[in-house]
Structure 1
Amino acid sequence: MIDEFKTFALKGNVVDLAVGVIIGAAFSRIVSSLVEDVFTPLIGVVTGGLDFTNYFLPLSSEVTATTLAAAREQGAVIAYGSFVTATINFLIVAWVLFFVIRAINRLRAKQDAEVAAPSEAASEPAIPADVKLLAEIRDLLAGGAEKNSRTGPETH
Protein backbone atom coordinates (compact mmCIF):
# COMPACT_ATOMS: atom_id res chain seq x y z
CA MET A 1 0.00 0.00 0.00
CA ILE A 2 2.86 2.37 0.79
CA ASP A 3 4.50 1.54 -2.54
CA GLU A 4 1.24 2.31 -4.34
CA PHE A 5 1.03 5.66 -2.58
CA LYS A 6 4.64 6.47 -3.51
CA THR A 7 3.92 5.60 -7.13
CA PHE A 8 0.82 7.82 -7.11
CA ALA A 9 2.44 10.72 -5.26
CA LEU A 10 5.52 10.79 -7.43
CA LYS A 11 3.73 10.71 -10.78
CA GLY A 12 4.54 13.70 -12.94
CA ASN A 13 1.02 15.10 -12.89
CA VAL A 14 0.80 15.20 -9.10
CA VAL A 15 4.17 16.91 -8.75
CA ASP A 16 3.28 19.39 -11.51
CA LEU A 17 -0.01 20.14 -9.78
CA ALA A 18 1.73 20.73 -6.44
CA VAL A 19 4.20 23.12 -8.06
CA GLY A 20 1.31 24.91 -9.80
CA VAL A 21 -0.58 25.35 -6.52
CA ILE A 22 2.48 26.76 -4.76
CA ILE A 23 3.25 29.15 -7.60
CA GLY A 24 -0.44 30.10 -7.79
CA ALA A 25 -0.51 30.97 -4.08
CA ALA A 26 2.59 33.13 -4.44
CA PHE A 27 1.15 34.76 -7.55
CA SER A 28 -2.08 35.45 -5.65
CA ARG A 29 -0.15 37.29 -2.94
CA ILE A 30 1.64 39.37 -5.57
CA VAL A 31 -1.63 40.29 -7.26
CA SER A 32 -3.29 41.08 -3.90
CA SER A 33 -0.43 43.42 -3.08
CA LEU A 34 -0.66 44.97 -6.53
CA VAL A 35 -4.36 45.65 -6.06
CA GLU A 36 -4.19 46.83 -2.45
CA ASP A 37 -0.97 48.82 -2.68
CA VAL A 38 -1.06 50.15 -6.24
CA PHE A 39 -4.47 50.00 -7.94
CA THR A 40 -6.73 50.80 -4.99
CA PRO A 41 -4.84 54.02 -4.15
CA LEU A 42 -4.80 54.98 -7.84
CA ILE A 43 -8.54 54.40 -8.08
CA GLY A 44 -8.92 56.46 -4.91
CA VAL A 45 -6.99 59.35 -6.48
CA VAL A 46 -8.99 59.18 -9.71
CA THR A 47 -12.32 59.00 -7.87
CA GLY A 48 -11.47 61.74 -5.37
CA GLY A 49 -10.25 59.77 -2.36
CA LEU A 50 -12.46 56.71 -2.71
CA ASP A 51 -11.08 53.96 -0.44
CA PHE A 52 -12.79 50.59 -0.80
CA THR A 53 -11.25 49.06 2.33
CA ASN A 54 -13.59 50.86 4.74
CA TYR A 55 -16.82 50.53 2.79
CA PHE A 56 -19.31 48.47 4.72
CA LEU A 57 -22.99 48.22 5.48
CA PRO A 58 -23.87 47.77 9.18
CA LEU A 59 -26.48 45.09 9.89
CA SER A 60 -27.46 46.48 13.27
CA SER A 61 -27.98 49.91 14.74
CA GLU A 62 -25.27 49.23 17.34
CA VAL A 63 -22.54 49.59 14.69
CA THR A 64 -21.45 53.24 14.68
CA ALA A 65 -17.76 52.95 13.76
CA THR A 66 -16.31 54.56 10.68
CA THR A 67 -13.64 51.96 9.92
CA LEU A 68 -14.29 48.37 8.94
CA ALA A 69 -12.10 46.87 11.68
CA ALA A 70 -13.87 48.84 14.41
CA ALA A 71 -17.29 48.12 12.89
CA ARG A 72 -16.61 44.37 12.92
CA GLU A 73 -15.83 44.60 16.63
CA GLN A 74 -19.19 46.31 17.26
CA GLY A 75 -21.33 43.87 15.30
CA ALA A 76 -22.18 42.26 11.99
CA VAL A 77 -21.40 44.17 8.81
CA ILE A 78 -21.41 43.51 5.10
CA ALA A 79 -17.94 44.54 3.91
CA TYR A 80 -18.74 45.30 0.29
CA GLY A 81 -15.49 47.25 -0.06
CA SER A 82 -13.62 44.01 0.50
CA PHE A 83 -15.80 42.40 -2.17
CA VAL A 84 -14.94 45.17 -4.63
CA THR A 85 -11.24 44.66 -3.87
CA ALA A 86 -11.56 40.88 -4.35
CA THR A 87 -13.35 41.48 -7.67
CA ILE A 88 -10.56 43.77 -8.83
CA ASN A 89 -8.06 41.08 -7.75
CA PHE A 90 -9.91 38.50 -9.83
CA LEU A 91 -10.06 40.71 -12.90
CA ILE A 92 -6.34 41.46 -12.71
CA VAL A 93 -5.46 37.78 -12.23
CA ALA A 94 -7.72 36.79 -15.13
CA TRP A 95 -6.21 39.49 -17.35
CA VAL A 96 -2.62 38.49 -16.55
CA LEU A 97 -3.38 34.79 -17.01
CA PHE A 98 -5.01 35.57 -20.35
CA PHE A 99 -1.77 37.13 -21.56
CA VAL A 100 0.36 34.32 -20.11
CA ILE A 101 -1.76 31.59 -21.74
CA ARG A 102 -1.87 33.57 -24.98
CA ALA A 103 1.94 33.81 -25.04
CA ILE A 104 2.29 30.10 -24.22
CA ASN A 105 -0.15 29.16 -27.01
CA ARG A 106 1.77 31.30 -29.51
CA LEU A 107 5.06 29.69 -28.50
CA ARG A 108 3.53 26.21 -28.78
CA ALA A 109 2.09 26.99 -32.22
CA LYS A 110 5.46 28.30 -33.36
CA GLN A 111 7.22 25.24 -31.96
CA ASP A 112 4.67 22.88 -33.53
CA ALA A 113 5.15 24.58 -36.90
CA GLU A 114 8.92 24.19 -36.62
CA VAL A 115 8.58 20.54 -35.68
CA ALA A 116 6.01 19.82 -38.42
CA ALA A 117 8.08 21.37 -41.23
CA PRO A 118 11.04 18.99 -41.02
CA SER A 119 8.77 15.98 -40.48
CA GLU A 120 6.94 16.65 -43.75
CA ALA A 121 10.24 16.65 -45.62
CA ALA A 122 11.34 13.55 -43.75
CA SER A 123 8.11 11.73 -44.66
CA GLU A 124 9.30 11.55 -48.27
CA PRO A 125 12.49 9.50 -48.18
CA ALA A 126 15.30 10.47 -50.52
CA ILE A 127 15.32 8.31 -53.65
CA PRO A 128 18.73 6.79 -54.37
CA ALA A 129 20.39 7.81 -57.63
CA ASP A 130 20.31 4.30 -59.12
CA VAL A 131 16.57 4.02 -58.50
CA LYS A 132 16.03 7.40 -60.17
CA LEU A 133 18.05 6.23 -63.17
CA LEU A 134 16.06 3.00 -63.46
CA ALA A 135 12.80 4.97 -63.24
CA GLU A 136 13.96 7.24 -66.06
CA ILE A 137 14.88 4.23 -68.21
CA ARG A 138 11.49 2.64 -67.50
CA ASP A 139 9.71 5.87 -68.47
CA LEU A 140 11.75 6.14 -71.69
CA LEU A 141 10.99 2.53 -72.62
CA ALA A 142 7.30 3.02 -71.82
CA GLY A 143 7.28 6.16 -73.93
CA GLY A 144 8.90 4.32 -76.86
CA ALA A 145 6.40 1.46 -76.60
CA GLU A 146 3.49 3.90 -76.69
CA LYS A 147 4.97 5.60 -79.71
CA ASN A 148 5.26 2.28 -81.58
CA SER A 149 1.74 1.24 -80.70
CA ARG A 150 0.29 4.54 -82.01
CA THR A 151 2.04 4.40 -85.35
CA GLY A 152 1.41 0.72 -85.89
CA PRO A 153 3.85 -1.92 -87.04
CA GLU A 154 6.44 -0.81 -89.45
CA THR A 155 6.09 -2.30 -92.92
CA HIS A 156 8.96 -2.41 -95.30
Structure 2
Amino acid sequence: MGRSQELASRLQEVLLDGRWVANTNCKAQLENLSWEVATQKVGNLNTIAALTFHINYYLAGLIVVFQGGALEIRDKYSFDLPPINSQADWEKLVNEFLANSETFVQEVAQLSDNILDQPFVDEKYGTYLRNIEGIIEHTYYHLGQISMLKKLIAVTDA
Protein backbone atom coordinates (compact mmCIF):
# COMPACT_ATOMS: atom_id res chain seq x y z
CA MET A 1 0.00 0.00 0.00
CA GLY A 2 1.38 3.40 -0.97
CA ARG A 3 1.61 6.41 1.32
CA SER A 4 -1.43 8.09 -0.24
CA GLN A 5 -3.54 4.99 0.36
CA GLU A 6 -2.28 4.79 3.96
CA LEU A 7 -3.29 8.42 4.54
CA ALA A 8 -6.67 7.78 2.92
CA SER A 9 -7.17 4.82 5.24
CA ARG A 10 -6.43 6.99 8.29
CA LEU A 11 -8.86 9.63 7.02
CA GLN A 12 -11.52 6.97 6.40
CA GLU A 13 -11.04 5.84 9.98
CA VAL A 14 -11.45 9.20 11.71
CA LEU A 15 -14.13 10.55 9.40
CA LEU A 16 -16.32 7.63 8.43
CA ASP A 17 -15.93 4.19 9.91
CA GLY A 18 -12.91 3.59 12.11
CA ARG A 19 -12.74 2.71 15.77
CA TRP A 20 -9.04 2.03 16.32
CA VAL A 21 -7.68 5.30 17.77
CA ALA A 22 -10.71 6.90 19.40
CA ASN A 23 -13.09 3.91 19.48
CA THR A 24 -15.43 6.07 17.36
CA ASN A 25 -15.48 8.32 14.30
CA CYS A 26 -17.18 11.49 13.15
CA LYS A 27 -19.97 9.75 11.26
CA ALA A 28 -20.88 7.64 14.29
CA GLN A 29 -20.95 10.71 16.53
CA LEU A 30 -23.08 12.83 14.17
CA GLU A 31 -25.62 10.37 12.81
CA ASN A 32 -28.95 10.18 14.60
CA LEU A 33 -28.23 13.35 16.54
CA SER A 34 -31.02 15.88 16.92
CA TRP A 35 -30.55 19.43 15.80
CA GLU A 36 -31.37 20.57 19.34
CA VAL A 37 -28.42 18.61 20.73
CA ALA A 38 -26.17 19.64 17.84
CA THR A 39 -26.85 23.33 18.54
CA GLN A 40 -26.99 23.22 22.34
CA LYS A 41 -24.49 25.53 24.00
CA VAL A 42 -22.39 24.27 26.89
CA GLY A 43 -20.82 27.26 28.59
CA ASN A 44 -18.64 29.15 26.15
CA LEU A 45 -17.69 26.04 24.13
CA ASN A 46 -18.42 25.60 20.44
CA THR A 47 -21.51 23.59 19.61
CA ILE A 48 -21.39 20.23 17.88
CA ALA A 49 -22.91 21.91 14.82
CA ALA A 50 -20.19 24.59 14.80
CA LEU A 51 -17.45 21.96 15.08
CA THR A 52 -19.02 19.93 12.28
CA PHE A 53 -19.15 23.01 10.05
CA HIS A 54 -15.55 23.85 10.99
CA ILE A 55 -14.14 20.44 10.04
CA ASN A 56 -16.21 20.40 6.84
CA TYR A 57 -15.02 23.89 5.89
CA TYR A 58 -11.42 22.66 5.66
CA LEU A 59 -12.35 19.42 3.89
CA ALA A 60 -14.31 21.34 1.25
CA GLY A 61 -11.53 23.89 0.77
CA LEU A 62 -8.83 21.28 0.27
CA ILE A 63 -11.02 19.23 -2.08
CA VAL A 64 -11.11 22.27 -4.37
CA VAL A 65 -7.31 22.36 -4.41
CA PHE A 66 -7.03 18.60 -5.04
CA GLN A 67 -9.36 19.05 -8.00
CA GLY A 68 -7.20 21.79 -9.52
CA GLY A 69 -8.78 24.89 -7.99
CA ALA A 70 -7.36 27.67 -5.85
CA LEU A 71 -6.99 27.66 -2.08
CA GLU A 72 -9.68 30.15 -1.13
CA ILE A 73 -10.55 29.18 2.44
CA ARG A 74 -9.54 31.44 5.31
CA ASP A 75 -9.32 30.54 8.98
CA LYS A 76 -11.40 33.58 9.96
CA TYR A 77 -14.44 32.09 8.17
CA SER A 78 -14.09 28.53 9.46
CA PHE A 79 -16.72 28.95 12.18
CA ASP A 80 -19.24 30.98 10.12
CA LEU A 81 -21.98 28.41 10.58
CA PRO A 82 -25.28 29.35 8.94
CA PRO A 83 -28.25 29.16 11.34
CA ILE A 84 -29.47 25.66 12.18
CA ASN A 85 -33.18 26.04 12.92
CA SER A 86 -34.52 22.57 12.17
CA GLN A 87 -33.65 18.91 11.85
CA ALA A 88 -33.56 19.41 8.07
CA ASP A 89 -30.89 22.14 8.45
CA TRP A 90 -28.80 19.87 10.66
CA GLU A 91 -29.17 16.85 8.36
CA LYS A 92 -28.15 19.00 5.38
CA LEU A 93 -24.91 19.93 7.17
CA VAL A 94 -24.23 16.34 8.23
CA ASN A 95 -24.93 15.02 4.72
CA GLU A 96 -22.60 17.62 3.20
CA PHE A 97 -19.94 16.73 5.77
CA LEU A 98 -20.25 13.01 5.01
CA ALA A 99 -20.17 13.57 1.24
CA ASN A 100 -17.09 15.79 1.57
CA SER A 101 -15.48 13.22 3.87
CA GLU A 102 -15.94 10.50 1.26
CA THR A 103 -14.67 12.77 -1.53
CA PHE A 104 -11.67 13.86 0.53
CA VAL A 105 -10.70 10.25 1.25
CA GLN A 106 -11.00 9.40 -2.46
CA GLU A 107 -8.97 12.44 -3.52
CA VAL A 108 -6.15 11.57 -1.12
CA ALA A 109 -6.15 7.92 -2.19
CA GLN A 110 -5.73 9.02 -5.82
CA LEU A 111 -2.73 11.26 -5.16
CA SER A 112 0.56 10.00 -6.47
CA ASP A 113 2.96 9.32 -3.62
CA ASN A 114 5.54 11.73 -5.07
CA ILE A 115 3.17 14.70 -4.75
CA LEU A 116 3.05 14.22 -0.96
CA ASP A 117 6.48 15.79 -0.56
CA GLN A 118 5.73 18.73 -2.86
CA PRO A 119 4.65 22.16 -1.63
CA PHE A 120 0.92 22.54 -1.03
CA VAL A 121 -0.20 25.58 -3.07
CA ASP A 122 2.63 27.71 -1.63
CA GLU A 123 5.76 26.69 0.27
CA LYS A 124 4.53 28.64 3.33
CA TYR A 125 1.79 25.99 3.76
CA GLY A 126 4.24 23.09 3.83
CA THR A 127 3.80 19.91 1.82
CA TYR A 128 0.74 17.97 0.77
CA LEU A 129 1.71 15.38 3.39
CA ARG A 130 1.82 17.96 6.17
CA ASN A 131 -1.60 19.33 5.20
CA ILE A 132 -3.22 15.91 4.99
CA GLU A 133 -1.72 14.85 8.31
CA GLY A 134 -2.92 18.18 9.69
CA ILE A 135 -6.47 17.34 8.64
CA ILE A 136 -6.22 13.97 10.38
CA GLU A 137 -4.91 15.51 13.62
CA HIS A 138 -7.36 18.42 13.46
CA THR A 139 -10.28 16.05 12.96
CA TYR A 140 -9.29 13.82 15.89
CA TYR A 141 -8.97 16.93 18.08
CA HIS A 142 -12.49 18.08 17.23
CA LEU A 143 -13.88 14.53 17.34
CA GLY A 144 -12.79 14.43 20.97
CA GLN A 145 -14.59 17.71 21.59
CA ILE A 146 -17.77 16.44 19.90
CA SER A 147 -17.68 13.25 21.98
CA MET A 148 -17.20 15.22 25.18
CA LEU A 149 -19.97 17.69 24.31
CA LYS A 150 -22.39 14.82 23.72
CA LYS A 151 -21.56 13.44 27.19
CA LEU A 152 -21.87 16.85 28.83
CA ILE A 153 -25.21 17.48 27.15
CA ALA A 154 -26.49 14.04 28.16
CA VAL A 155 -25.56 14.77 31.80
CA THR A 156 -27.16 18.22 31.63
CA ASP A 157 -30.39 16.86 30.13
CA ALA A 158 -30.63 13.93 32.59
TM-score normalised by length of structure 1: 0.25
**Larger helix percent:** 1
TM-score normalised by length of structure 2: 0.25
Q: Which has the greater radius of gyration? A: 1
Higher relative contact order (CA 8 A, sep 6+): 2
